[in-house]
Chain A
């Protein structure tokens, strides 16, 4: 499996960010609707503070990335750009490694830029945790539906 470069991984990360943002939007909508149902007379759109929103976004991102990497090694962005996160010997990431990698990616996203300079196209997180991101092309054989 050839390691994927900065363009594929960067675009996949952008798509994943979009997924997290949409999820956050849905969560906010759910919160607003719950507030409306519980207390319809004094309803106001909830205005969570910045720290709270940032913390929830970080938690949602970590949960999303961990779940995707442990279940299939592919997030939505990874599926779109045909890449896959695997362990050192191309196995799926374990939960612990996936959580640490997700936290590292969320807190230190700039580490992805190292992919462009590393000869083996590894990010800082990949170097630290021994993971790798390779091209995953089963769709060339089976049509995507």
Chain B
């Protein structure tokens, strides 16, 4: 500004202008913040902006092309201990099947013993406890 080149008061005028500018910006910022605080921007965007139209324009293929999908899959697979899960589940299933088979055959043993005992007219003899 030309008057800031004036002797004696020029410097003062310059400093005042800079200070006034700063105070102005601070005041506007504060006012804007206050205004924004009062507005629900999310609701406003939902109401005023056609988000579907924006999303429709997005090139998802390009985004996917930028992602290292294989690397991502590897990371996920590394995080999941698949062999342990398979091992645990098959182990449990096998154990249950084996226990079932064994108790069924043991029961069948008792049925046959009981039948033979009755057939031969013997009093059924209890087996020794396990």
Enumerate chain A interface residues (CB-CB to B < 8 A).
1-8, 11, 80-82, 116-117, 119, 121, 135, 137, 139-140, 143-145
**Do the beta carbons of B95 and A143 come within 8 Å of each other?**
yes
| A12 → B minimal CB distance (Å) | 9
Task: Collect the chain A residues with CB atoms within 8 Å of residue B74's CB.
Answer: none
* Contact code string B61-102 (vs A, CB < 8 Å = 1, else 0): 000000000000000000000000001000110110011011
Q: A82-B98, A145-B94 are in contact. Are A5 and B129 (CB under 8 A)?
A: no
Task: Collect the chain B residues with CB atoms within 8 Å of residue A81's CB.
Answer: 101-102, 105
| A35 → B minimal CB distance (Å) | 39
**Do the beta carbons of B95 and A144 come within 8 Å of each other?**
yes
CA distance A139 to B97 in the complex (A): 11
Report 10 cross-chain contacts, Cβ distance below 8 Å, ordered by A residue: A2-B128, A2-B130, A5-B112, A7-B105, A11-B105, A81-B102, A82-B102, A82-B105, A116-B113, A139-B98
Residue of A nearest to B94 (CB): A144
Task: Collect the chain A residues with CB atoms within 8 Å of residue B92's CB.
Answer: 143
Enumerate chain B interface residues (CB-CB to A < 8 A).
87, 91-92, 94-95, 98-99, 101-102, 105-106, 108-110, 112-113, 116, 120, 122, 125, 127-130
| B106 → A minimal CB distance (Å) | 6
Task: Collect the chain A residues with CB atoms within 8 Å of residue B113's CB.
Answer: 5, 116, 121
**Do the beta carbons of B130 and A7 come within 8 Å of each other?**
no
Task: Collect the chain B residues with CB atoms within 8 Å of residue A80's CB.
Answer: 98, 101
CA distance A3 to B112 in the complex (A): 13
Task: Collect the chain B residues with CB atoms within 8 Å of residue A6's CB.
Answer: 109, 112
